[in-house]
Amino acid sequence: MRPLPDTVKDLLDDLETHYPPRCKDPSETLEQHCNYAGQVQLIADLRTRYDWTRENQRMESILKGT
């Protein structure tokens, strides 16, 4: 088992590397592929939320002049 990365960004990068979007493999069942696709979608949703949060923090910092 791999250790968890230290930061959220590094964790997302690691998850995206190990769970890239892909087409259904002929050897997997539809259920297996749907499960994998759900994991990929969760990671994508987390990335979107992380990026949105970082951008809002950056904009707040700019508006506050810090």
Number of other residues whose CB lies within 10 A of the CB of residue 39:
13
pLDDT along the chain (66 residues), means of 10: 93 98 98 99 98 93 82
Residue-level pLDDT at 44: 98
Dihedral sign, Cα of residue 7, residue 50, residue 45, residue 26: negative
Determine the residue type at 34: C
Distances (CA, A) of 21 to 3, 11, 35, 37, 58: 23, 17, 12, 7, 29
Residue-level pLDDT at 65: 82
| Cα distance between residue 2 and residue 14, in whole Å | 10
